[in-house]
Amino acid sequence: MYQWEIGDDQLRKLEEWKKLPTLYQLALDELKNKIKLIQTEWKILNGYSPIEHIKTRIKEPKSILDKLERKGLEMTVDNMVNKIHDIAGMRIVFSFVKDIYKLLDHLRHRDDLTIIEIKDYIAKPKPNGYQSLHVIVAVPLTLFEGQRWMKVEIQMRTLAMDFWASMEHILFYKYDKQVPPHVVQELTEAAKAADALDKKMHGLRREIMGAAEASLP
Ligand code: GTP
Ligand code: MG
For 70, phi and psi rounded to 5 degrees? -55, -35
List, for residues 104-125, the tens digit of each pLDDT value. 999 999 999 999 999 999 999 9
Burial class (CB in 10 A: 0-12, 13-18, 19+), 24: buried
pLDDT at site 168: 94
Cβ–ligand 1 distance for 134 under 6 Å, the answer yes
List, for residues 49-69, the tens digit of each pLDDT value. 999 999 999 999 999 999 999
What are the per-10-residue average pLDDT scores of the chain (217 residues)? 71 86 97 97 91 97 95 93 97 96 96 97 95 98 95 98 96 86 92 94 80 52
Q: Is 153 labeled as catalytic in the residue annotation?
A: yes
Cβ–ligand 1 distance for 128 under 6 Å, the answer yes
Ligand 1 atom, smallest distance to 67 CA = 3
DSSP annotation of 119 reads: E
Q: What is the DSSP string of 135-185?
A: EEEEEEEEETTEEEEEEEEEEEEEHHHHHHHHHHHHHHHHTTT---HHHHH
Count Cβ atoms below 10 Å from residue 62 Cβ, excluding itself: 8
Give CA–CA dist 179/26, Å, rounded.
37
The interface predicted TM-score of the complex, written ipTM, equals 0.93
Q: What angle do CA 38, 43, 45 make, to 5 degrees?
A: 95
Beta strand 114-120 pairing with 146-158: unpaired
Residues with CB under 5 A from ligand 2 (ion): 86
pLDDT at site 3: 64
Count Cβ atoms below 10 Å from residue 132 Cβ, excluding itself: 22
